[in-house]
A and B are shown apart, each in its own frame.
Chain A
Amino acid sequence: MFDYIWLVPVFPAIGVLINGLLGRRIEAINKNLIHWIACGVIALSFIVTCTIFYQLLQLPAAERLHQVTCFTWIHSGVLKTYVAYQIDPLSMMMAMFVIGIGFLIHVYSIGYMDGDPGRYYRFFVYLNLFMFSMINLILANNYLLMFLGWEGVGLCSYLLIGFWFEEEANAVAGKKAFITNRVGDFAFLIGMFLLFTGLGEHGVWSLQFDKVFTHVHLLTSSQATAICLLFFIGCTAKSAQIPLYVWLPDAMAGPTPVSALIHAATMVTSGVYMITRSNILFSMSPLAMGVVATVGAMTALFAASIGLVQNDIKKVLAYSTVSQLGYMFLGLGVGAFAAGMFHVLTHAFFKALLFLGSGAVIHSMHHAYHKVHSHDDAQDMRNMGGLRSKTPITYWTFLIGTLAISGIPGFSGFFSKDEILWQAYSSPQGHWLLWLIGAVAAGMTAFYMFRLVFMTFFNDCRAGEAAEHIHESPATMTVPLCVLAFLAAVGGYLGVPHALGGSNLFEHFLEPIMGMGDGKLLQDAATAVAHGAHHVVHAAGETMHAAAGHVAETVHTAAHAAAGHAEVEAHHGGHQPLWLEYLLMVISVALACGGIFIAYMLYIVKREIPAALAEKYAFIHRLLLNKWYIDELYDVVIISPLRGFSYFLWKGIDVGVVDYIVNGVARIVGWGSTAVRYMQSGYVQSYAVSVVFGTVVLLAYYFLKAL
């Protein structure tokens, strides 16, 4: 079955082709066919994925790597790249949840997009196209094909954010997302070039993961750092980290299923996936790792601070996504790749759930407003309230998601978040400050999420006369909610940490792709030592000194790798005291509970306080509400100068200088010709004068010469 992995991306592509080319006709005949096709292809993909995943599990851990080459893509000289897929624990784990959640969201969209005639098919085409790109991103066995997916998902994101393009704001948000991502892609590309040429110097011209990672020791550490940092800049765009996170909150302009699928569960985590995929590379650069961890922690805190005061239900979730992604990078940065990926998984469950839940709320509100012909904002939480009784399924599932994201013990978010926080503190690259930032952000998360729940589902409804029209969403929407709620609740048990008596199945499953886990790096180091020894023999006598340096370096690499291995071992054995792990766990849970308690006090018990607080600390409130004015800052510092400069180039240089010279030359030639024209006047007299004058000059010349 492994050899049929190409079916996984091909099915969605078929969906794109059918609905894309014939969608308008099909929709005119029978609208249901559209979603049957669109959901059907994803279901087929999912079935294939499940089969392959099952077969992968049957293999012993060491053999869980299979590559399938479909065809040569770009081949020119030493550059040879393939459309080829890789089956290993990491890619299959991602594929399972991405396609699974993707399927649920396709189903959900049937209900959500129901009232949008003429564009129904287009929505599903874009969704299918997104799945195609995302699957390529995940399953690719080389950086270039990954980049195809990487830009492809960005494109779909652009198309879907601006799906209701009549609103200028939506179109602008879509473009902003694409451009910001392009900035990141620029860095990703340069990183790829550097990697390609860096390894190429040693005769390894490849962008294929396994080849790159087995030869990664050939890179100098500064090369590795540069590559990692460039890759990470790519991630800050795709996964919305400081400083390129600005597009994600605006991306909420898209339909809510899109927010759930692309801007919460799958696409935005591809940065985390990419770094995990490249973990061997990143392990070479402690500096880059430090940057990743720091940026992650800062983003987690920063975004949470904005989330505290937002009133748009989706904006709150958007900032919470940015913040949660920050956690993931924090985990990666301290070397806890598995923990980071684990949070990707649990986050996908609960955040997809929360977004779909908010979508159900918005859908209900929208329909109610529609009934009473009101144009109030269906996404503003200040218009909601008391939905608990009107939309019970939505409420209960949403509550589960909220408990999960808040890190309440027992729910999925707890296990993954706690693992990251613990690693942030205890791992060799960790620091207590990183832990503290993470823990505080966790408390803020619990606060703003429960603020959201209380404002939306509790108290009295503030929707006015529309209130009585609010009712539960259709089954196509609530069933996915229930499935996701189940996953959000129990998904965490895949990776119960050792400290809690679990065996951390998840981490063990991913071990084969971790450089440090299965001794792959050790193996490489051994090769390097052999290589070094080879050099020694050859260089002996001539450059004893240099050779010695080389050996020292390789031995160092080996030692480093061994140390890495030892670290992993130590972690499993637990060289940090167990009580400390429990203590930190208790503190972070206490912070979360504190956040919930404050939210309860402010939004249920003493509801007048928030307004008073906002008034008292108006400056801070305004700062947070306006997102620290970062968008405005970018506009002043980058966008406006760029536009001004462009205008100067056009009017100043192009028209003012270059064309001025060109036209000037033409004019001079024109004047010259006009002047010369008088010579050919047709008057015999003037010709005669010229002849006489010429004769005189000539004679004078010869006379003078003769003298």
Chain B
Amino acid sequence: MNELGFPIISLVTFFPIFGALVLMFIDKEAKDTLRGTAMVFAMIEFFISLPIIFAFQSGTADMQFVERYTWVKSAGLSYYIGLDGISLWIFMLTTFLTPICVLCSWTYIQKRVKEFMICLLLLETAMLGALVSLDLILFYIFWELMLIPMYFLIGVWGGDNRIYAAVKFFIYTAAGSVFMLLSIFFLYYLNHKMTGVYTFDLLELYKLNIPVATQFWLCLAFFVSFAIKVPMFPLHTWLPDAHVQAPTAGSVILAGVLLKMGTYGFMRFAIPLFPYASNQFTPVIATLAVVGIIYGALVALIQPDMKKLVAYSSVSHLGYVMLGIFAFNMQGVEGGLYQMLNHGVSTGALFLIVGMLYERRHTRMIKDFGGIAKVMPVFATFFMIMTLSSIAVPGTNGFVGEFMILVGAFRSLPMHAVFATSGAILGALYMLWMYQRVMFQPLDNEKNKVLKDLNVREIVTLLPLAILVFVMGFFPGYFINKMNASCEHFLKTYDQQVAMYKQQVEDSSQAKLAQVMSANQLKSTLSD
């Protein structure tokens, strides 16, 4: 059945639901029990997901740990899941971040702890499910399922303006998804028309030869849906609101995993399904990505709210990911994938850090702080490490991803790469300026003088991320090796398909030309 001999992915994917069920039976006033139980489940979840890394075969681009059961036979629906080098690490990142989210909510969340933890665990299942689905409808179900717990996380446990943010988040993303659903069905019928088979099997649909004009519209629908999720400029405005209003754990999940669903979607669905249209869209997407990089950085620069600043920095960072993917070479694509993980680690940690300050001072305004490094030296160290990771200083994970992306981009889109590189200057500018105003300068606010440094729980929350920053910065090989085969395959099929479609387009235009010519000939002979 698969490499481990039992349905490991299903187990990992649905285990959190089991946790949520158990939580339902716990008294909602027993807050510490609830937290503890959630933590235990999140940790078990992480540990049972670990064997996947070790059992994962890095030499092959095939789907691994595949499970496949027919679901609705007549409709061609199946429960079809598996992992490859593209999804592996985001999958692991999800199981890794969830315990951290539980930990960081320990004291932050005081009301409705039970429901909060249940939401968190359900969200985990939805995310994992979306990452492993190889059936379009199955994917779509998980994809939409992610919205609901997230909607509640923002709408119930969020800040003052939480309803606006939650609704905006929901409608923005749902609106995009509708196009994708239409597109999925269209694809389904198209496939039937051409092959006589009804199926939502992604790998089967990859093989479909879609007429160029149709491909364009289908691709656009997928792109819009994923671009909103990423978010790409100019579809990003839900993000700052969602982040600012969301509780810390929500922001961490949002930045760490949910946004990656967009970029992952491009790599798993949009591009392989519609290679020719993707190829034609490349200049547009790459330009939007670069605009996003610079725009996000500039807007981040003048944000008065720390969390909003980090949110806009996400727009900038995800721009790098998109640029890398649309460079369509090894460095770009692997760099993009790597940067997804980096962003999950560093931005996730930055949201934790902002949350820790917020919990102490109930404000996130930069101007309310200053000189914090003096009273919170341990915190200052973590904050600095994450800042460095975010601005891609060599030796941290951020640099590896950014460098690979830029090298890749420079090979295929040199001018884009040059502009994108200038984003690194702006990145340093807004991060260090924030750090300076929050952590350095005179400690003159009385309320700040009594702040306590991190406690053990908070250190435990941040430490794994800090370690990852350096491990991923110095030894990226371990991670990238496992992506290699899949990325190579991704690029190879992309190149082949694009070449094939190009040939088709050429042939058809030649045929048209020939038609016109022969018609002319006919006319001329007739007139003669």
User: Do the beta carbons of A73 and B474 come within 8 Å of each other?
Assistant: yes
Q: Which of B192-200, B215-223, B423-431 contacts A (4 or more CB under 8 A)?
A: B423-431
CB distance from A96 to the nearest CB of B (A): 25
Residues in A with CB closer than 8 Å to B432 are 158, 175, 178-179
Residues in A with CB closer than 8 Å to B418 are 190
Bound form: Cα–Cα A144–B406 in Å = 13
Q: Which of A75-83, A408-416, A456-464, A622-630 contacts B (4 or more CB under 8 A)?
A: A75-83
User: Do the beta carbons of B425 and A179 come within 8 Å of each other?
Assistant: yes
B302 CB-CB contact with A under 8 Å: yes
Bound form: Cα–Cα A296–B407 in Å = 31
User: Do the beta carbons of A645 and B425 come within 8 Å of each other?
Assistant: no
Residues in B with CB closer than 8 Å to A189 are 403, 406, 421, 424
Chain A minimum-CB-distance residue to B423: A186
Bound form: Cα–Cα A148–B484 in Å = 24
Residue interface bits B290-321, CB-to-A below 8 A is 1, else 0: 00000100110111000000000000000000
Q: A76 touches which one: B399, B404, B436 (CB < 8 A)?
A: B404
Bound form: Cα–Cα A666–B373 in Å = 44
Chain A minimum-CB-distance residue to B370: A168
Residue interface bits A631-667, CB-to-B below 8 A is 1, else 0: 0000000000011011101100110001100100010
With A73-B476, A76-B330, A166-B443 known as contacts, the answer to whether A646 contacts B394 (CB < 8 A) is no
User: Do the beta carbons of B330 and A175 come within 8 Å of each other?
Assistant: no
User: Do the beta carbons of A659 and B237 come within 8 Å of each other?
Assistant: yes
Interface centre among B373, B441, B484 (most CB of A within 10 A): B441
User: Do the beta carbons of A197 and B411 come within 8 Å of each other?
Assistant: yes
A182 CB-CB contact with B under 8 Å: yes
Bound form: Cα–Cα A2–B484 in Å = 34
User: Do the beta carbons of B440 and A166 come within 8 Å of each other?
Assistant: yes
Bound form: Cα–Cα A73–B303 in Å = 36
Interface bin, chain B: 35 or more
A44 CB-CB contact with B under 8 Å: no
With A74-B476, A76-B331 known as contacts, the answer to whether A190 contacts B295 (CB < 8 A) is no
Residues in B with CB closer than 8 Å to A174 are 436
User: Do the beta carbons of B298 and A152 come within 8 Å of each other?
Assistant: no
A524 CB-CB contact with B under 8 Å: no
Chain A minimum-CB-distance residue to B233: A658
Interface SS of chain B: helix
CB distance from B433 to the nearest CB of A (A): 7
A54 CB-CB contact with B under 8 Å: no
Chain A minimum-CB-distance residue to B298: A646
A404 CB-CB contact with B under 8 Å: no
With A166-B374, A179-B429, A666-B171 known as contacts, the answer to whether A646 contacts B406 (CB < 8 A) is no
Residues in B with CB closer than 8 Å to A666 are 171
Bound form: Cα–Cα A194–B415 in Å = 12
User: Do the beta carbons of B440 and A72 come within 8 Å of each other?
Assistant: no
A493 CB-CB contact with B under 8 Å: no
Interface centre among A148, A167, A200 (most CB of B within 10 A): A148
Chain A minimum-CB-distance residue to B234: A658
Bound form: Cα–Cα A662–B238 in Å = 9
Residue interface bits B359-398, CB-to-A below 8 A is 1, else 0: 0000000000001011001000000000010000111000
B251 CB-CB contact with A under 8 Å: no
User: Do the beta carbons of A654 and B237 come within 8 Å of each other?
Assistant: yes
User: Do the beta carbons of A647 and B428 come within 8 Å of each other?
Assistant: no
A484 CB-CB contact with B under 8 Å: no
Chain B minimum-CB-distance residue to A659: B237
User: Do the beta carbons of A72 and B477 come within 8 Å of each other?
Assistant: yes
User: Do the beta carbons of B371 and A650 come within 8 Å of each other?
Assistant: no
Bound form: Cα–Cα A647–B429 in Å = 15
A687 CB-CB contact with B under 8 Å: no
Q: A172 touches which one: B403, B422, B436, B477 (CB < 8 A)?
A: B436
B14 CB-CB contact with A under 8 Å: no
CB distance from A525 to the nearest CB of B (A): 29
A185 CB-CB contact with B under 8 Å: yes
Bound form: Cα–Cα A182–B172 in Å = 36
User: Do the beta carbons of B394 and A171 come within 8 Å of each other?
Assistant: no
B283 CB-CB contact with A under 8 Å: no
Bound form: Cα–Cα A175–B331 in Å = 31
Residue interface bits B435-478, CB-to-A below 8 A is 1, else 0: 01001111100000000000000000000000000000011110
Q: A650 touches which one: B302, B334, B417, B474 (CB < 8 A)?
A: B302
User: Do the beta carbons of B404 and A74 come within 8 Å of each other?
Assistant: yes
User: Do the beta carbons of B404 and A165 come within 8 Å of each other?
Assistant: no
A209 CB-CB contact with B under 8 Å: no
> B residues 44-90 with Cβ under 8 Å of A?
none
Residue interface bits A138-155, CB-to-B below 8 A is 1, else 0: 000000100110111001
B480 CB-CB contact with A under 8 Å: yes
A183 CB-CB contact with B under 8 Å: yes
Bound form: Cα–Cα A170–B442 in Å = 11
CB distance from A314 to the nearest CB of B (A): 21
Residues in A with CB closer than 8 Å to B400 are 74
CB distance from B429 to the nearest CB of A (A): 6
Q: A662 touches which one: B237, B295, B388, B439 (CB < 8 A)?
A: B237
CB distance from A179 to the nearest CB of B (A): 6
CB distance from A22 to the nearest CB of B (A): 13
User: Do the beta carbons of A165 and B406 come within 8 Å of each other?
Assistant: no
B168 CB-CB contact with A under 8 Å: yes
Bound form: Cα–Cα A270–B404 in Å = 25
B410 CB-CB contact with A under 8 Å: yes
Q: A171 touches which one: B237, B303, B436 (CB < 8 A)?
A: B436
B329 CB-CB contact with A under 8 Å: yes
User: Do the beta carbons of A76 and B480 come within 8 Å of each other?
Assistant: yes
Residues in A with CB closer than 8 Å to B475 are 71
Bound form: Cα–Cα A653–B168 in Å = 18
Residues in A with CB closer than 8 Å to B344 are none
B335 CB-CB contact with A under 8 Å: yes
Residues in B with CB closer than 8 Å to A671 are none
Residues in B with CB closer than 8 Å to A155 are 388, 393
CB distance from A111 to the nearest CB of B (A): 24
A597 CB-CB contact with B under 8 Å: no
A509 CB-CB contact with B under 8 Å: no
Chain A minimum-CB-distance residue to B412: A197
Residue interface bits A61-104, CB-to-B below 8 A is 1, else 0: 00000000001111111110001000000000000000000000
CB distance from B39 to the nearest CB of A (A): 26
A12 CB-CB contact with B under 8 Å: no
Interface centre among A144, A190, A647, A650 (most CB of B within 10 A): A650
With A147-B394, A186-B422, A193-B417 known as contacts, the answer to whether A171 contacts B403 (CB < 8 A) is no
User: Do the beta carbons of A179 and B393 come within 8 Å of each other?
Assistant: no
User: Do the beta carbons of B393 and A152 come within 8 Å of each other?
Assistant: yes
Q: A168 touches which one: B238, B424, B433, B442 (CB < 8 A)?
A: B442
Residues in B with CB closer than 8 Å to A162 are 436, 440
Residues in A with CB closer than 8 Å to B476 are 73-74
29 A-B pairs whose Cβ atoms sit less than 8 Å apart in the complex: A71-B475, A73-B477, A76-B335, A76-B480, A77-B329, A77-B330, A78-B331, A79-B407, A83-B474, A155-B393, A166-B374, A171-B436, A171-B440, A171-B441, A174-B436, A178-B432, A193-B407, A196-B407, A196-B410, A643-B301, A643-B302, A646-B301, A646-B302, A649-B295, A650-B299, A654-B237, A654-B299, A659-B237, A666-B171
Q: Which residues of B contact A (CB under 8 A)?
A: 168, 171-172, 234, 236-238, 240, 295, 298-299, 301-303, 329-331, 334-335, 371, 373-374, 377, 388, 393-395, 399-400, 403-404, 406-407, 410-411, 414, 417-418, 421-422, 424-425, 428-429, 432-433, 436, 439-443, 474-477, 480, 484
Question: Can you list the 9 inter-chain pairs with the closest CB atoms, starting with the nearest?
Answer: A77-B330, A171-B440, A165-B440, A148-B394, A193-B410, A646-B298, A76-B334, A646-B302, A182-B428
Q: A166-B440, A200-B411, A646-B299 are in contact. List 12 more A-B contacts (CB 8 A).
A: A74-B400, A75-B477, A76-B330, A165-B371, A171-B440, A182-B425, A185-B424, A186-B422, A193-B410, A646-B302, A650-B299, A654-B237
Q: Which residues of A contact B (CB under 8 A)?
A: 24, 71-79, 83, 144, 147-148, 150-152, 155, 158, 162, 165-168, 170-172, 174-175, 178-179, 182-183, 185-186, 189-190, 193-194, 196-197, 200, 642-643, 645-647, 649-650, 653-654, 658-659, 662, 666
